[in-house]
Structure 1
Amino acid sequence: MFRYYLGLGFRSLRRNPVLTVLMVLTLSVGVAASMTTLTLLHGMSGDPIPGKSDRLFVPRLDNAPADNPPNDGEPATQVTHTDAMALWEQGKGKRRTPIYGLAPAIDSGRADLPPFFSEGVAVGADFFPMFDVPFLYGQAWSAAEDAKAASVVVIGRGLSERVFGEGVDPVGKTVRISDADYSIVGVVDTWNPVPKFYRLIGNNQYGTSEDVFIPFRTAIARELQMNGSIDCSASAEPGFKGIVASECVWMSYWVELESAADRQEYADYLNAYVNEQKALGRFPRPLNNRLHNVMEWLDFNEVVSDDTRTSTWLAFGFLLVCLVNTVGLLLAKFSARPGEIGVRRALGATRRDVFTQYLTEAGVIGLVGAAVGVGLTFAALAFIRGFDDDIALITRVDGLMLTTAIVLSVAASLLAGLLPTWRACQVVPAMQLKSQ
């Protein structure tokens, strides 16, 4: 019987085309507005590394001068080179890595491809297994190469295809980066965590991953200039070496623990480390450390702004207005058919049968509205990408969002159809037959 009612629902779309078009457009515009903002919110607030986000932590240490504390009482968002190296070399945690951004020049050695700048990071070998970075060719450098500041590099798939050609394995070949030759040991496959949680400070939070990964000690030894944010609470000696030796904070440090339950133990370790440094004349302020897991780190950096949340609620408010209008249009559509309802009731149809039939018709309108609404959502997201290509990764409609759009549209149409359907069920057969 449901299939029969479904067929009636699709045939009824042609009965009053003007009302049908108005209902579909009203519903689809509301769905498109809410799904566009919901897609952006979903992309911004999703877990970028599910299954691991509660075991990955970024520490923050308060090395501000005693006479110049931060206004908000919060420690710096990054750490000094001194602290990053100390935490890294002490080896606490399952895996760990310092990170700082680079913008190296790439010389392909080809006459048809002049030198160009690329995005890169200086990291430890643990970076790749820590963040589940996939490899297309080769692998990460070894711990021994990490320790001796070897001239090796891991490059991204995009850079590999640009310099060496698509489908070519460049492992073992040499690439010139910032006036030095590096041996390629691996090629990272397409990898774009959204948001870019491991480089939120001084970087595009929704950009694609880097194309150059250089061993941290190698980058420091060759004085590869940082590309990112730097905060100096005290003056530093001039030059790269001065920054390295200073109390300036300019890099991130990440650690992976065996389990989330090890968090307090690691926090105690950080306190002990700072107390040791206090004995050496550093960290003049009281203990003020922080330890964030991935999702806490996203919240702290306000990856999802209040404006985004407000826009989402406003869009759903607009959908509610569209529902109210759809209710009025459905009332007009169903109220024009009392004679048909009277005949059906006289022939033995129950109120439940009438209710099911007309609610199914409302659901059909929701299905058509979902199709149009999804199309409008894609168009709206493409329009947004036209303003800012950097947010392309969060404007993609995945399977979850597509399913949500369909369910939302059908549910909205069924909700809007409840009152008109109930009104249709109140038709008295005898009165309608007498008037015919």
Structure 2
Amino acid sequence: MFQYYFLLGVRSLRRNPALTALMVLTLAIGVAASIATLTILHVMSGDPIPNKSSRLFVPLVDNGQPENYKPGDEPNDRQMSYRDAVNLLNSKVGERRTAIFGVGLPIEPDRKDIGAFTARGLATTGDFFNMFDSPFLHGQGWSPADDKSGADVIVLSRQLAEKLYGDADPVGKRMLAGGFQYQIVGVLDTWTVVPRFHRVIGSNDGAFSEEDEMFIPFTSAIRHEMQRNGSTSCYEDVAPGYQAFLDSECTWIQSWIETRSASDRAELQSFLDSYAIEQRKLGRLKRAAPNMLYDVREWLDYMKVVGNDNKLSAWLAFGFLVLCLVNTIGLLLAKFSVRAPEVGIRRALGASRREIFTQFLIETTVVGLVGGVLGLLLAFGALALIAMQSKALTLVAHMDWVMLITTFAMAVMSAVLAGLLPTWRACQVTPAIQLKSQ
């Protein structure tokens, strides 16, 4: 019986084609607008590293001045000073530890057809790659010994490696970067992390920035007194010289700690509190503010990666979908009302209200399926237009299988909901009255 009613629904699309087309288009536009907005929100708020997000932590200790500070105020900054970052690196807390700051290095290629250019990247530690599950195409990251000695080694992104060396494996070769010779030890494969949780701070597009092009040891960057390519916060005057800057309370380094399991969070918090107490004995951390730990999802929330504007846009899109459904209800009422004589005859011949209800509801489902296909095409078009606006939007304006299934489910459910009232009204037809009017 379902198959019979479904075929009737398909045939009904040819009745009143203008009215049917208007229903399908109204439903499709509403679904496309809401799905396109929801897709972007879904990608932006997704878990970028689900297998580790509960055991990767950002530690924050507040080293701001105590003047005008009140308990509960926001921390001085969301980064750490060089002193705190190095102390955490040298500690034995957690399974892995890393420190990150942005660098921009002029690259002088060996190839004569490529002129000098500046590559953006990170100064970090060897633990970085295992902590964040960075995929390698060639080679590997550098060793703890390289971290300790500040060796001039470098890991390239796949894009930069192909630009400099084509498809060849460049591991073992040396390249001139920032005026120094670096030995290539690894090449990362394409690494698309959305949102890019470890680079929320210090890049132009924040959590939706492009891949970094190269990675060098943190200690090597410090040894060469490299300048920072990112945000720096200093609340007091700093004496001239690079060492004076390192000794200052300026915050410019992002720290991450990986624990063995999520249950080790309490132990990590205890360590951080003990560290702060020791530093206060040395005359630092005068605010005595709470020491904070954020796992990946908490960090993204704290940094407002998905802002209120994005959430408001999603609600407005769903409001537009509701408006489209109201219009669809009106169109279905108009379509079903002209079929009252047909319903009356079917009722007189023995059809029950339940059978009439089922038939008309399946017909609205067919409308929903057609509207879903058209809505999906419109959603793809809308996302393509959004992706053209900026490189950052290119990372989030794409649809995955979850949203693909959601699009069809939303279209069908919307059509079914819109068809409940018209279908119920169609079932209330009195056979005697309709037969007398014929």
Shared fold (TM-score greater than 0.5)? yes
Q: Who is 2:127 aligned against?
A: 126
The sequence identity of aligned pairs, in percent, is 51
Deviation at 1:73, TM superposition (A): 4.1
Q: Deviations over 1:215-237 (max 9, x none)?
A: 11111111221111000011112
Q: CA RMSD in A?
A: 1.6
Q: Map 1:103-122 onto structure 2 (within 5 A).
A: 103-122=104-123
Asked whether the equivalents of residues 225 and 240 of structure 1 are also in contact (C-alpha less than 8 Å), the reply is no
Aligned residues: 435
1:165-201 per-position Cα deviation (integer Å, ceiling 9, x unaligned): 13x2221122221111211111111112111111211
Partners of 1:105 and 1:117 within 8 A in 2: yes
- Tell me which of 236, 239, 245 is aligned to 2:238: 236
Decide which moves more: 387-396 or 336-345.
Answer: 336-345
Matched, 1:161 2:162: yes
Q: Contact 1:271 / 1:287 at 8 angstroms: preserved in 2? A: no
- Find the aligned partners of 1:398 and 1:433 in 2 and give their Cα distance: 53
**Residue segments in structure 1 that go unaligned for 5+ positions in a row:** none
TM (norm. structure 1) is 0.96
Task: Give, in whole Å, the separation in 1 of the partners of 2:391 and 2:285.
Answer: 42
1:340-389 CA-to-partner distances (Å, cap 9, x unmatched) read 22333333332222211111110111111111111221222222222222
1:75–1:288 contact (8 Å) kept in structure 2: no
Counterpart of 2:408 in structure 1 is 406
Larger mean CA deviation between 300-309 and 173-182 belongs to: 173-182
* Separation of aligned partners in 1, 2:405 and 2:241: 55
Q: Find the residue that maps to 1:391 and give its secondary structure.
A: helix
The answer on whether the counterparts of 1:157 and 1:188 sit within 8 Å (CA) in structure 2 is yes
Matches within 5 A, 1:37-436: 37-67=37-67, 69=69, 72-166=73-167, 168-203=168-203, 204=205, 205-436=207-438
2:64–2:75 Cα contact (<8 Å) kept: no
Answer whether contact 1:56 1:254 (CA < 8 A) is retained. Answer: yes
Secondary structure of 1:72 counterpart: coil
1:169 is paired with a residue whose SS is coil
**Does the residue aligned with 2:185 lie in a helix, a strand or coil?**
strand
Change beyond 3 A, Cα 1:67–1:426: closer
Counterpart Cα distance in 2 of 1:96 and 1:186: 20
Which amino acid letter does the alignment assign opposite residue 45 of structure 2? Answer: S
Confirm or deny: 8 A CA contact 2:388 2:394 kept in the other structure.
no
- Structure 2 gap ranges (5+): none
CA contact (8 A) 1:121 1:214 kept: yes
Q: Distance in 2 between matches of 1:343 and 1:107?
A: 85
Which residue number in structure 1 is paired with residue 35 of structure 2?
A: 35
Q: Which amino acid aligns with 1:190?
A: T
Name the aligned partner's letter for residue 310 of structure 2: T
Q: Which moved more, 1:60-69 or 1:210-219?
A: 60-69
Please, which moves more after superposition, 246-255 or 24-33? Answer: 24-33
Residue 118 of structure 1 aligns to a residue whose secondary structure is: strand
Q: Secondary structure at the match of 2:351?
A: coil
Note if contact 1:107-1:175 (Cα within 8 Å) is conserved in structure 2. Answer: yes
Deviation at 1:68, TM superposition (A): 5.5
Q: Please state how far the C-alpha of 1:60 moved relative to its aligned partner.
A: 0.8
Q: What is the TM-score normalised by the length of structure 2?
A: 0.96
- C-alpha distance in 1 between matches for 2:378 and 2:261: 44
Query: Which sits farther off after the overlay, 115-124 or 381-390?
Result: 381-390
